[in-house]
Structure 1
Amino acid sequence: MRNIILSIIGVLVIVASFLFAKKLIADKNKPKPVQAKVVKTVFTDTIQNATIPIVIAANGNLEAKRRLEIYAEVQGVFKPGSKLFKPGQEYKAGQSLIKIDASEYYASVQSSKSNLYNSIAAIMPDLRLDFPDVFDKWQNYLTNFNLNKTTPKLPEMTSDKENFFITGRSIVSNYYNVKNLEQRLAKYTISAPFSGILTEALVTEGTLIRSGQKLGEYIDPSVYEMEVAISKTYANLLKVGEDVALNNLDKTETYTGKVTRVNGSIDATTQTITAYIEVKDANLKEGMYLEANLNAKQEKDAIEIDRNLLLENQQIFVVKDSLLDVIDVKPVYFSDTKVVLKNVPNGSIILKKAVPGAYAGMLVKPFQDKPVTKDQQ
């Protein structure tokens, strides 16, 4: 019985070995599956060279073109006026911004004017006797002399004798002394040189003001300037009078400015040149941050593409016979996201969007929009 069982097991082992060997031979002779080629679908664009405007992006803060920092040249108490000296207060041209109490100084000015009047009146008898031909003009001067008005100019002297006589009586020196005092008296009142608005007030009514003290800041809110720094590469391209498109950070408001000045020197540290853009708009405020787009030049026979399509060795991918290839190009301007290129032949088919892992010789298929049929609708 045992021999029978062993015989059966031996037969089964032989049969299994035969079947296994047959399977190995069949697998060895079986052809390997051919791997299907992967064809990537890419977005392409057909090139047509044109004139590309090179627009330089810059930014900066607005500052009032006409600004006045108010300082005191005399000392005294700030007198209340018709308007409160507060930030945001508007004034017309010629209106008083600040009036400083000048009572004591005004009295000294009147005293000097009175002394001048008396000096001229004292020489009138001598003029009548020695210089009868000039007596009338000096008499008219005294008649028109008003202590409550600005001291009039002395009569013009027509001869050396008259000049020596008048000067010898210290009348000329007294006259200029009075004019000097009147000039200083005018500094007790600070008037608005132009219509504008007060943006900073450092004193209030009743404050004792000292000479040299800063009192506030005053601006004209109708005209603003923006200072922008441009690369020295475009120093020769910026032109005074060129229009500039401006917009806020949210891109919700657009303004039109004009290049009014271009600095004649280049900053040695940053190698940039400063341009000043003038802009007018009722909605603008000092300190606003704006972005500017300056039209530097027109580049002929060029194209503009995304910067990520330009390879490191100044080449770009083109599609030829369903294969990727590279051509050499000449970049002429870089912006944050775009690059302007030359030497790209018309009719070339280039990639419109970057393809990860792209290489020369890669098999691609240009993407085509299929028209929607009535059945698909």
Structure 2
Amino acid sequence: MNRKITIVLLVIATLAISFAAMKGLSSLKESPKKNLDKKKLPLVKVEAVKYNEISSPIVEKGRLASNLEVNLSSEVAGRIVEAGVPLKVGQKFKKGQLLIRIYEEDAKMDLRALKSRFLNKLAENLPDIKVDYADNFEAWMNFFNAINLEESIPELPKVKSDQEKVFMASRNILGDYYAIKSAEVKFDKRKIYAPFDGSYAEVNTQIGSVAGMGTKLAGIIESNNLELQVPIESKEISWLSLNEKVDILDSDGEVIFTGKLVRKSDFVDEGTQSISVFIKLEKTNGNELYQGQFLTARFNGKKIANAMEIPRNAVFSSNKVFVVEGGILKEKEIKVIKRNENTLVFNGLKEGEMLVVEPPVKATENMQVQIKK
């Protein structure tokens, strides 16, 4: 019995010693340090307000169009025959080349017949002219001899008296003469010549087709006289001046041509609310230009004095910004002078104020912030 009691006491003593040892060891561990880092404040990027003279360019895309476009139409009826320059869209031609020819053999025969009848009538009346108007007979005789059936009829001799004029009118010599002149004009209209160096932009007929009077046959453009038509927002048109230099850029933003602003429309496009301006290209560096091609125009605009340029996302509610005062955000209003695609030109703040150019998310007035170094 005593032995059992002794064993139990030894077990209890052993447990007690073990528990005491564990308590002692746990007391030797260091207590975990409390997190003493303060809550981080939002970082903001700022710029000190400083005003200068700013050049604020306007960059817009435009479309090339010929400064001279002409529709070719027929003033006489007839079949279209080969003229030398193919009737094809894009076909180039030189000034003075024959573009369109309407079959003329029948009209040529009719014109010869008119001249023959006129010569016959004039021959019948020359004896009377010699007797009654001897002082002018030589002029009429020279006129008669100068008439050639294959050439244009020469000018009429000058009538020297009212009696001579009555005589010519009564014999219908004047009427027949001007009928021939009218027929010659119509005959010449059977050939259409190029008024400038250019190319076909539109073709509505072909060789062998019959042209009617007033029919539009083709549209031509002067290929060496192109203008860039650029739509500008109506609120920005006041920044542009006639005759100012304009840079024409490629897709990489490099200047490839220069031009001059020559015209501004005096109306607003109802669909786009823009006003078209026209740039005459001056230096092309030998590069090819094409009707309908899109190019980018950079207008220098006017110099803006006493202003500063900042990113548009720094502005909210149209004309408000944040400034940092003693680590606190403060709302302030600015005077917006010009809005660009990604930036904004303004004044209205005091120079030296710390303007926030990258506001934090959900920024509010009186928010504590840190200035980004």
Q: Bin the TM-score by the shorter chain.
A: 0.7 to 0.9
For residue 237 of structure 1, report the CA deviation from its aligned partner: 4.5
* CA distances 1:122-179 after superposition (whole Å, capped 9, x unpaired): 2221121111111122222223222211222212223212221212221111122111
Which residue pairs with 2:86 in the alignment?
Answer: 84
Q: Does the residue aligned with 2:124 lie in a helix, a strand or coil?
A: helix
From 269, 287, 292, the counterpart of 1:287 = 292
Aligned-pair identity (%)? 28
Q: 5+ residue gaps in structure 2?
A: 1-33
Q: Does the residue aligned with 1:233 lie in a helix, a strand or coil?
A: helix
Q: Does the residue aligned with 1:283 lie in a helix, a strand or coil?
A: coil
From 71, 74, 77, the counterpart of 1:72 = 74
Give the number of equivalent residue pairs.
Answer: 347
Q: Residues 204, 250 of structure 1: CA spacing in aligned structure 2 closer, same or farther, 3 A cutoff?
A: farther
Larger deviation: 111-120 or 187-196? 111-120
User: Are positions 1:342 and 2:347 aligned together?
Assistant: yes
User: Are positions 1:170 and 2:175 aligned together?
Assistant: no
2:79–2:210 CA contact under 8 A, matched in 1: yes
Residue identity in the other structure for 2:311: D
Q: Does the residue aligned with 2:95 lie in a helix, a strand or coil?
A: coil
Q: How do 1:208-357 residues align onto structure 2 when only pairs under 5 Å count?
A: 208-249=210-251, 251=253, 254-267=256-269, 271-279=273-281, 281=284, 282-312=287-317, 314-357=319-362
Residue identity in the other structure for 1:362: M
1:42–1:353 CA contact under 8 A, matched in 2: yes
Q: Residues 135, 286 of structure 1: CA spacing in aligned structure 2 closer, same or farther, 3 A cutoff?
A: same
1:241–1:260 CA contact under 8 A, matched in 2: yes
Looking at structure 1, the residues matched to 179 and 240 of structure 2 have their Cα atoms a distance apart, in angstroms, of 53
Residue identity in the other structure for 2:46: T
Looking at structure 1, the residues matched to 42 and 256 of structure 2 have their Cα atoms a distance apart, in angstroms, of 42
1:224–1:286 CA contact under 8 A, matched in 2: yes
Looking at structure 1, the residues matched to 73 and 250 of structure 2 have their Cα atoms a distance apart, in angstroms, of 34
1:225–1:278 CA contact under 8 A, matched in 2: yes
1:249–1:289 CA contact under 8 A, matched in 2: no
Larger deviation: 123-132 or 44-53? 44-53
1:47–1:348 CA contact under 8 A, matched in 2: yes
Larger deviation: 130-139 or 151-160? 151-160
Q: Does the residue aligned with 1:331 lie in a helix, a strand or coil?
A: strand
Looking at structure 1, the residues matched to 240 and 121 of structure 2 have their Cα atoms a distance apart, in angstroms, of 64
User: Are positions 1:144 and 2:146 aligned together?
Assistant: yes
Larger deviation: 171-180 or 342-351? 342-351
For residue 47 of structure 1, report the CA deviation from its aligned partner: 2.8
From 133, 136, 160, the counterpart of 2:135 = 133
Looking at structure 1, the residues matched to 237 and 339 of structure 2 have their Cα atoms a distance apart, in angstroms, of 16
Which residue pairs with 1:48 in the alignment?
Answer: 50
TM-score by length of 1: 0.80
Residue identity in the other structure for 1:129: V
For residue 235 of structure 1, report the CA deviation from its aligned partner: 4.7
Provide the aligned C-alpha RMSD in A: 3.2
* CA distances 1:333-367 after superposition (whole Å, capped 9, x unpaired): 22222211122333333233332233333344433
1:325–1:361 CA contact under 8 A, matched in 2: yes
Q: Residues 105, 313 of structure 1: CA spacing in aligned structure 2 closer, same or farther, 3 A cutoff?
A: closer
User: Are positions 1:360 and 2:365 aligned together?
Assistant: yes
Q: Residues 248, 73 of structure 1: CA spacing in aligned structure 2 closer, same or farther, 3 A cutoff?
A: farther
Q: Residues 162, 64 of structure 1: CA spacing in aligned structure 2 closer, same or farther, 3 A cutoff?
A: same
For residue 250 of structure 1, report the CA deviation from its aligned partner: 5.5
User: Are positions 1:194 and 2:196 aligned together?
Assistant: yes
Residue identity in the other structure for 1:86: K
From 139, 142, 155, the counterpart of 2:157 = 155
1:58–1:230 CA contact under 8 A, matched in 2: yes
